[in-house]
Structures are given as structure tokens and as C-alpha cells.
Chain A
Amino acid sequence: MQIIYNGEPREVAEEMTIAELLAELDRPARQVAVELNRELISRDQHVHVRLRPGDEVEVVTLAGGG
């Protein structure tokens, strides 16, 4: 199925959880925060929340900034 990941279309497995998506991205969970359809999903929910086709997912981290 297709989701919108950080503004770009991305193919992911059916019923993938957020935790599974982060594992696929190979990013340490504590260095990122996740929004699903503009709502923050807390870390303890990552294993429970399943993605659906067309979901908009933002995965953000810290970057240099002033």
C-alpha cells in the first residue's frame, strides 16, 4: 500500500505499524518523533498504531539550527 512519508509517496507493507516503519528506516526511535496525519504519536503507541493507505506520516529528528 502507499503512504505519504515525509511528503513523498512510499510503498509499505499492509497494516505496517509505526514501530515497523522506523525499523525499516533504520533510525533509533529515541532520535525521532512521529506524526500521523498531523497528530503526534507518542513513543509507547508506535507498536500499536497501524498505517492505512494514504496516511500522511512525518518522521522528524534534530538538525543544526539557530
Chain B
Amino acid sequence: MSLVGPAQVELEDPLRLGPHVLRSRLIVGSGRYDNYRVMAESLAASGAHCVTVAVRRERQYDEQGENIFDYLDLDRYILLPNTAGCYNAEDAVRSAKLGRHILDALGNPGADWIKLEVLGDPKTLLPDPVGTLEATRRLVAEGFQVLCYTSDDPVVARRLKEAGAVSVMPAGSPIGSGQGLLNPNNLRICLEYLKDDDPDYPVIIDAGVGAASDVAIAMELGADGVLLNTAIAKARDPVNMARAMMHALHAGRLSYLSGRIPKRLYATASSPEVGVIARTCPPR
């Protein structure tokens, strides 16, 4: 007799985002790592197929004097350039075009899309909804596949979808705050609004993740994916945290697909109620 080993958590469950098909529903950022070596190991451990990058003035080297290109496997990852640091639509469009130009030259398939961020202020890094909507319209007109970072406001989310975003990406909580999903009810409404009559429309929870449980909760809510960076990069052990995020994503996704039980106020016995040897029980 042989014992059956634990089932492997291997989902053939790709994420379709515009023209791209991602092997993993976890999208990870490449920022804030202590060095590029740890970054490369963490990206690999996360199982991600898509990695976000920023567009910045040249001369970007880490403390070891190394360059991100030495550690980013361009054949393995689809890069997703962002417009982080932009506070108006004009700058976001400029950044997007510059990012596209570089990815084109690198021959990376991520050249046609952009993670749009138009921020309101540097303290909260909350999105500016007016600038985000304007930039979405302009970038869509320029032929970009726009993945839109936004707040958990369902009305703004719906407007961004109407403007042509290929994915709306509501934040769980402020960027890099590690506060997790502060308003799951708003995220539920975002999911409902965006997927009403269009169940395959991809919604990604972007920003705010602090620990693996946040990723599982996002996926259990019915999100199609999670985008995170700081929770891995600034963990005490980034490589193992990347692994934890991958497992949490699988756990949350399987849990969502399997259909959770309804919450009840009172208990329901899991052992049979007949055949109990005890004759009496206290009144309820």
C-alpha cells in the first residue's frame, strides 16, 4: 500500500490581459530591493510571468554598481512599464511613450501596454481620478493597452473601463503601506460593476498588500490577479515571501473557484447528530 502524496498546487489557469496571456496571476514589481541579485531571485520565486518596471532618467545603478538589465531576464518576463511618479496626464503620456520606445528596442512583448499611475500627492500616493481618466483616454487613443491603477471607488472604476482600460486595478490600500485590503466591500462593488455582463473583464488588486493573507483575500473576493511589490522587496526574507505570495494566490484562487460556504450565526455540527452515546444535552 502506498500513501498518496499531497496534491500539487499547479493551476493551468492563465490570466488574459488584453493581448497577453500570463502564466501566473501574480504580477510583481522590481522596485525597492536591496540589490538586483535579491530582486532576480525573488522574481523567480514568485512564479510571476509579468514584472513591472519604472521609466527613469539614465544612470540607475544599485550599491554594487550594477544595472537592472543585468538581472532582468527579458526572455522570461513580459515587462509592464509604469508611469509612477507622474502627477498629471501629460507626464504620464510622455512616460508611457518613452517606456514603449525602450521595450520596443529590447524586443519585449510588453511594449504595447502600460500600467497607468497618475498620482494626487506624494504623501498618500493616492490616484488622481480626473488625471487618470484623462490619461486613459489619451493613451487608448495612442494605441496603448492601459492597465489602470485606481482607488477602490466603484464609480471611477466603471468610468475607466468605459474609457477603454483593458484592466482596472483598484488599490487595496495606499501604495507601499502594507495595510492590506481596507475596504473589501468597495472592492466587491468594483468587481460587480466591472464584471456585470462582462465576467471575463480582468480586475487586478494593485497596491497595499502587506502579507500573503492579503493576496488570498483579494483572490477570494474574485479578483483576477494581484499586483504587489513592497511586501516582497522589503520583507526580512524577500525570496521566501515571494514564495508565500505565490502559494497564497493559488490558495485564494482555488478557494474562490471552489465556492465558499455561507457564513452563519450559529454552529452546524460536522459530526453526525444521531448515535451519540450521551443521553442529555443542555437546553439551547
**Residue pair A64, B98 in contact (C-beta under 8 Å):** no
**Residue pair A61, B94 in contact (C-beta under 8 Å):** no
Is B56's beta carbon under 8 Å from chain A? yes
CA distance A42 to B104 in the complex (A): 11
Is B221's beta carbon under 8 Å from chain A? no
**Residue pair A63, B230 in contact (C-beta under 8 Å):** no
Set B29, B68, B94: member contacting A35, Cβ < 8 A: B94
Closest-by-CB residue of B relative to A7 is: B57
Is B136's beta carbon under 8 Å from chain A? no
Is B175's beta carbon under 8 Å from chain A? yes
Closest-by-CB residue of B relative to A40 is: B97
CA distance A43 to B176 in the complex (A): 35
- Judged by DSSP, the binding face of B is mixed
CA distance A27 to B39 in the complex (A): 22
Set A27, A29, A33, A65: member contacting B98, Cβ < 8 A: A33
Set A27, A40, A43: member contacting B105, Cβ < 8 A: A43
* Across-interface contacts of B102 in A (CB, < 8 A): 30-33, 60-62
Is B159's beta carbon under 8 Å from chain A? no
Closest-by-CB residue of B relative to A22 is: B58
CA distance A30 to B102 in the complex (A): 6
**Residue pair A66, B94 in contact (C-beta under 8 Å):** no
**Residue pair B57, A60 in contact (C-beta under 8 Å):** yes
List the interface of chain B (C-beta within 8 A of A).
Answer: 29-33, 36, 39, 52-58, 60, 68-69, 72, 79, 81-82, 84, 94, 97-99, 101-102, 105-106, 175-176, 207, 227-230
CB-defined A-B contacts under 8 Å, sample of 16: A30-B102, A31-B106, A32-B102, A40-B101, A60-B57, A60-B58, A60-B102, A62-B56, A62-B102, A64-B33, A64-B36, A65-B229, A66-B29, A66-B31, A66-B82, A66-B229
Given contacts A62-B69, A66-B31, A66-B228, 5 further A-B contacts (CB under 8 A): A33-B101, A62-B68, A64-B29, A64-B33, A65-B52
